[in-house]
Amino acid sequence: MAVDLEKVKETMFKLIKDSAGMKKWKATDLHKACEELFGDEYDKRGVGKDAIKELVEEGKLVYTYFGGSYLELPHREGAAND
C-alpha cells in the first residue's frame, strides 16, 4: 500500500524543520530519507514529488539556491537589501 501523502509531507517538513541551520536538504536527500523510513511503500516519482510540490505551494517550504537548489523553511536571506 502506498504511503499517505499527508504523512510524507509531515515527515519531509519535520526533517527540514528539525535540522534548519545545520543541514541543507535537496529533493533527492528527502527522497532518500523517506525511502529509508517508508521502504517500498514510498514512490519518489509519485507521492514524493507531490509532497514537495504541495509543501512549496502551501508556502511551508521554499526553494533556495546556494551553489545547488535546496528546500528550506521560508526565511529572510542574508544578502537581501531592504
Partner 1 sequence: MPVEKKYETPLLDQLESGGWPSFVKEIKSAAEDNAMANDLLGLLEQSYQEKIGHWKHGGIVGVMGYGGGVIGRYTDLPEKYPAISHFHTMRINQPAGWFYTSEALRTLCDIWDAHGSGLTNMHGSTGDIIFLGTRTEELEPIFSKLTAAGFDLGGSGSDVRTPSCCCGKARCEWACYDTMGLTYYITNRYQDELHRPAFPYKMKFKMSGCPNDCVASVARADISIIGTWRDEIQVNQEEVRNYAKSGLDITKEIAMLCPGKCIEWNGNEIQIDNSNCRHCMHCINLMPKALAPGKDRGAAILVGSKAPIVEGALLSSVLVPFIKLEEPYDDLEIWELIENMWDIWCEEGKNRERIGEFIQRVGLGNFLDAVGLEPQPEMVAFPRDNPYVFYEEYFEEEEDQ
Residues in contact with partner 1 by the rule CB under 8 A:
26-28, 31-32, 49, 52-53, 56-57, 59, 62-69, 72, 74-75, 77, 79-82
Closest to partner 1 by CB, 1 or 79:
79
- To partner 1, the closest distance from the beta carbon of 19 in angstroms equals 16
Closest to partner 1 by CB, 33 or 64:
64
> Whole-angstrom Cα distance, residue 41 to residue 81?
45
> Whole-angstrom Cα distance, residue 57 to residue 55?
6
Closest to partner 1 by CB, 3 or 30:
30
First CA to last CA distance, the chain: 49
Report the run of H or E that residue 11 belongs to, with start and end. helix 5-18
